[in-house]
Structure 1
Amino acid sequence: MERVYTEKHCVVESPARPRVTFVWNEVNAYMAACWCQLQNTCELSIVSYPTKRPYDNNVVAAVNNHTLLADSSFETLRSAVLAGKPDILVICGWGKRTYRKLARERELADARLVLVIDTPWRDTWSQRLGSLLLNRFCNQFLAVVIASDRGQIYSKRLGFNASQTMTGMYGIDYKSFRAGGEHRPNPWPKSFAYIGRYASEKGINELVDGYKLYREMLTDPWPLDCYGSGPLASLLRVPGIVDHGFVQPNDLPNKLAHAGAFVLPSRYEPWGAVIAEAAASGLPIITTSSCGASVDLVHHCFNGYVCASEGRSICDAFIWVHRNYGGLQSMGRSSQRFAEAYSAEAWASRWTELFYRIS
């Protein structure tokens, strides 16, 4: 414990900075921004697996990150975690056998365990069975952090009560995206932007179908700028769609600043940090009800449009945004207000409170 002297010269006890280790599937820019903030309140180390995205090396340069090989053994993972001497160990899910084994490691018996899951409850047979099989594993954890309220049912099924459950798994570099949005051209851009993988689960097929319908129905359609990479890139070779390829995270605020609205039509998305980033940039959002962040960040026909991952429904969303051009700036301001709760600073504050509560 550390002694802290207040303005009235009363001596109070303040907890020492805990040593915290995150075991994460792969590091990305938005989590790196969050961890940079968390370093202000704890001794932080990250043990992660390599990302498949072609990020610049400086994306995670500011955090103490130990990147393992994709096929690293349990002993390698164990040694990397033990090197941090964690008081608190945060484990990202149970998908890897090594994670499940790590939670039982004797040399970590004194560490307080926190589980992180972003999967919402979908009431599938695999989830019903899994929640029973995972009960013993989950009993080892003092708390669980979920992506949004959609995960509440799942966490309860896994044996966690309300006092053990915290929402707010993800955060973003809110300041950078908000600052980028301040440079949006005037008049407001007449264009849509998509950022993400070009893959079926992202709804690329439906996005292209919906955009084609939109162009057929209006005489002055806006272009759709796409930033990403993936196996379905060839589908984007249609009139009005521009494939800009993969963009480094540091360049995303500028790209979004030149858009008039953002679209993410995923078939399935546990949360969707890019929705929060676009909202922080001050954009109206088109997304599907399949995206977890739609519940937290998009109010239908207020700051965006929540549609189905289906071509006709996406077309309707494009048309609604197009016909409400005069209100897009006001919608964008609302988006920014909603996104601020997911700033890296707010994220770090939530996690710091959790750490001190379980210490």
Structure 2
Amino acid sequence: MRIAFLGNGMTGYLDAQYRALHALGHDLLVVQPGSPDVAVGAMRDTAFGDLGIGEYADHLLWSSEPTRAELVERVSRFDPDAVVMSAWNFSRSYRAVMRAVPSSVVRILVMDNLWRGAPRQWLGRAVSRWYVATVADVAMVPSERSEIYARMLGFGPGDVIRGSLTADDAVFHSAERTAEEIGSRRRFLWCGRLVDHKGVDVLAGAYRRYRELTDEPWSLDVVGMGPQADLLDDLEGVVRHGFLAPPEVADLMRRSSCFVLPSHIEPYGVVVHEAAACGLPVLTTDFAGAAAGFVQDGANGWVVPAGDVEAWARAMVRTSELPAERLAAFSDVSRSLARRTTPATWAANLAEQVERRRAAGGGRLSVGA
């Protein structure tokens, strides 16, 4: 099978997914921005460019967006059975490709947006017949909350592929963590871009308040860069690491006691899966798409209201005061939940979905779509 990917930024976990698909014997064409500077905004601090794509795929890494004619011709030469496009509004050239491929080619739109009822989303729903349906037959989503949005845009129940994102289990993994080990770490960990929607203000305020509420506070390790880094300056107990590559992040996760993600909005949050795979209890915002799949209240962490500094502080107190044996039990549940999806299962699912849709002649499968 031949599958073309039109992406908006490259990451380690996408690389792992593509490699797993190639390992099944499929041919890939990967079109991606060649540097973080031209990636979609949300990936500019995490887009790694060329991770050795040439080892497993025909590829085009661009610094200047290819023209519509150039890209249509390039994809046509590849002669794909399916084209997978990330986001419907990232590139006009990508949209041109989706319109130009034969009707037998399965056109898949990857989307991780959460339905929030925002005016822009209502507008998108109003024009979806002309703007979305003309470029995609199938939506591929990471979570149930993204599926709600896809259904609002007109994709029927048979036109949604579930499970678009997964952690790289070759990097993010952990052996069983003992009570003695995880209890002795005494450190919270946060990883991400230091920008407004990631809840850096909540993180700073909650951690400051947490230290007021407990006599034996844990430290807070912060991985990442961004314009709101100053909110964490001079905050007692905070250890800044700046940018770390995925293997370094995984190592730090295995040396921590709890992962925190207080984002105001987090369309999905692969980092939640990564943390769970490393055996971490997790505190996550209710606005993270990954929360439903990888966090169970009282079993391996808690889902905490977005933006509520006091609730976050008290959740941190509750976690740091758990007996070591309970932390180890949380860790076991996290590791178990993390195994629900891997790059290998992602690849097998995508290949099976494409083959089934090709056999049906392409287009939408839902009745009345």
Give how far 1:57 is off.
5.0
Q: Does 1:171 align with 2:166?
A: yes
CA contact (8 A) 2:12 2:51 kept: no
SS at match of 1:194: strand
Amino acid at match of 1:229: M
Structure 1 window deviating more from structure 2 (337-346 vs 65-74): it is: 65-74
SS at match of 1:287: strand
Gaps of 5+ in 1: 1-17
Q: Provide, for residues 274-293 of structure 1, a one-character-per-residue CA deviation record: whole Å limited to 9, x for no partner.
A: 01000000100011001111
Match of 1:44 in 2: 28
Measure, in 1, the Cα distance between the counterparts of 2:199 and 2:20: 33
Structure 1 window deviating more from structure 2 (347-356 vs 275-284): it is: 347-356
Match of 1:219 in 2: 215
Match of 1:334 in 2: 333
Q: CA distance change for structure 1 residues 60 and 211 in 2, over 3 Å: closer, same or farther?
A: farther
Measure, in 1, the Cα distance between the counterparts of 2:175 and 2:232: 26
CA contact (8 A) 2:177 2:331 kept: no
Measure, in 2, the Cα distance between the counterparts of 1:121 and 1:347: 24
Measure, in 2, the Cα distance between the counterparts of 1:185 and 1:26: 40
Structure 1 window deviating more from structure 2 (34-43 vs 281-290): it is: 34-43
Match of 1:249 in 2: 246
Measure, in 1, the Cα distance between the counterparts of 2:179 and 2:19: 27
Give how far 1:160 is off.
1.4
CA contact (8 A) 1:175 1:343 kept: no
Match of 1:3 in 2: none
Amino acid at match of 2:315: A
Match of 2:363 in 1: none
Give how far 1:169 is off.
1.0
Give how far 1:176 is off.
2.6
Match of 1:14 in 2: none
CA contact (8 A) 1:181 1:257 kept: no
Match of 2:206 in 1: 210
Q: CA distance change for structure 1 residues 84 and 249 in 2, over 3 Å: closer, same or farther?
A: farther
Measure, in 1, the Cα distance between the counterparts of 2:54 and 2:232: 34
Q: CA distance change for structure 1 residues 154 and 226 in 2, over 3 Å: closer, same or farther?
A: same
Match of 2:120 in 1: 126
Q: CA distance change for structure 1 residues 184 and 358 in 2, over 3 Å: closer, same or farther?
A: farther
CA contact (8 A) 1:93 1:117 kept: yes
Match of 1:348 in 2: 347
Q: Does 1:100 align with 2:92?
A: no
Match of 1:293 among 290, 295, 316: 290
Counterpart mapping for 1:130-209 below 5 A: 130-140=124-134, 141-179=136-174, 186=181, 188=183, 189-209=185-205
Match of 2:256 in 1: 259
Counterpart mapping for 1:73-112 below 5 A: 73-96=67-90, 97-105=92-100, 108-112=102-106
Measure, in 2, the Cα distance between the counterparts of 1:101 and 1:332: 46
TM-score by length of 1: 0.89
Match of 1:236 in 2: 232
Match of 2:361 in 1: none
How many residue pairs were aligned?
341
Q: CA distance change for structure 1 residues 68 and 325 in 2, over 3 Å: closer, same or farther?
A: farther
CA contact (8 A) 2:10 2:49 kept: no
Q: Does 1:313 align with 2:289?
A: no
Match of 2:8 in 1: 25
Measure, in 1, the Cα distance between the counterparts of 2:148 and 2:79: 33
CA contact (8 A) 1:184 1:257 kept: no
Measure, in 2, the Cα distance between the counterparts of 1:62 and 1:248: 20
SS at match of 1:20: strand
Measure, in 1, the Cα distance between the counterparts of 2:11 and 2:218: 31
Measure, in 1, the Cα distance between the counterparts of 2:182 and 2:87: 45
Q: CA distance change for structure 1 residues 182 and 162 in 2, over 3 Å: closer, same or farther?
A: same
CA contact (8 A) 1:113 1:143 kept: yes
Measure, in 2, the Cα distance between the counterparts of 1:87 and 1:206: 46
SS at match of 1:134: helix
Structure 1 window deviating more from structure 2 (83-92 vs 265-274): it is: 83-92
Aligned alpha-carbon RMSD (Å)? 2.2
Measure, in 2, the Cα distance between the counterparts of 1:210 and 1:355: 45
SS at match of 2:99: coil
Measure, in 2, the Cα distance between the counterparts of 1:178 and 1:161: 36
Amino acid at match of 1:90: V
SS at match of 1:244: strand
CA contact (8 A) 2:128 2:154 kept: no
Q: Provide, for residues 194-221 of structure 1, a one-character-per-residue CA deviation record: whole Å limited to 9, x for no partner.
A: 1110111100011000000001111110
SS at match of 1:174: coil
Identity of aligned residues (%): 28
TM-score by length of 2: 0.86
Measure, in 2, the Cα distance between the counterparts of 1:177 and 1:101: 37
Match of 1:275 among 272, 276, 292: 272
Q: CA distance change for structure 1 residues 44 and 61 in 2, over 3 Å: closer, same or farther?
A: closer
